[in-house]
Structure 1
Amino acid sequence: MPYLVALVVLVGVFCLVNLILIVGVIRRLREHDEALAARSEQEQNRRAILSEGEVAEPFETVSTDGGLVSRDRFEQPTLVGFFSPGCTACHEALPGFLAMAERFPGGPEQVLAVIVDENGESGAQRASLEPVARVVVEKLGGPVTSALHVGAVPAFGLVGPGGTVMSSGLRLDQVLTAASA
């Protein structure tokens, strides 16, 4: 009989400890969910590049083919894309950008691709972009990324005469939808 009482007490203590642990885990999961929701909201509010109507700061740089690229050379609407070699989302967005660049009015002269490359790994992206766009390779904070206030990659924009942003977004379809509206 005393063994049975001890066993019941032991099972009761075990259940109580288990219940306390479960309540603690549920509390931590709620905190984790709230942190994820806050982070998701921050990411949604993060700007790709300057917003519609804003004007890029003056800049001047040289493309991979030796041509001059500057804010003052935006005479027609220009499709702009920012990529990085180590970025999975950039690799996923690249085929869509290439397809759009091939069809974009004005050809490669009206398409600018900026590869944000910190480690000299831009070779593959550069090779795929050069046939359809003027390509600039620079570090984050370079002339083009600074002038357009790039906050994330991939980022896309449609930039009009004088560097005025006509539309921008973290996805190419956002830019094209806004531009066609």
Structure 2
Amino acid sequence: MSETTTTTETTASEVAPAEPDKTFTQADVDRMIADRVKRAKPADYDEAKQKAKRLDDIEAQNATDLERAVKTARAEGETAATQKANGRLIAAEARALAAEMQFRKPGHAVRLIDTADVKVNDDGDVDTKALRDLLDELAKDDPLLLVVPSDGRPKGDADQGARVTAPPTDPRSADLAQIEADLRTNRRK
């Protein structure tokens, strides 16, 4: 066994003589990679790709009415689901912008604007500029929807002002003469 090992070692050293390190230029590397790609790609790859496309076209032509209807229904369902999701995204973004712009009730502000022209891109990003423009217009039309109107001064509401004190309702704290007068008035009726 030791003889076999020594024989293998000598054979390996004879097969791979010591060579100095070889360097390659970028053009050499590019050429080697291009050669390997050509060898890896089957010769009839482009032809097979064209045949596959033709087969898909033929299958589409031969599809039954049921298969076409199923495909159409799937597309319609996908469109409806996308529109519903986009509507929710737009409403959520509009509520967030309305709260940021200090509307008293952001949910009500969203209901007062027409978001039909607001777009959502394929990544799900809402056109915030269009929403902000709609909310700005709403704030200009009805500044009372804002916590602080656009002129910067707070406005009064029905809860502000002097309060009128009500007469006492406890008979013990009322005037005795007043109670007797009320009793006489009620007996006459």
Task: Quickly name the TM-score band, shorter chain normalised.
Answer: under 0.3
Higher RCO (C-alpha under 8 Å, 6+ residues apart): 1
TM-score, with structure 1 as normaliser: 0.25
TM-score, with structure 2 as normaliser: 0.24
Structure with more of its chain in strand, by fraction: 1
The higher radius of gyration belongs to 2
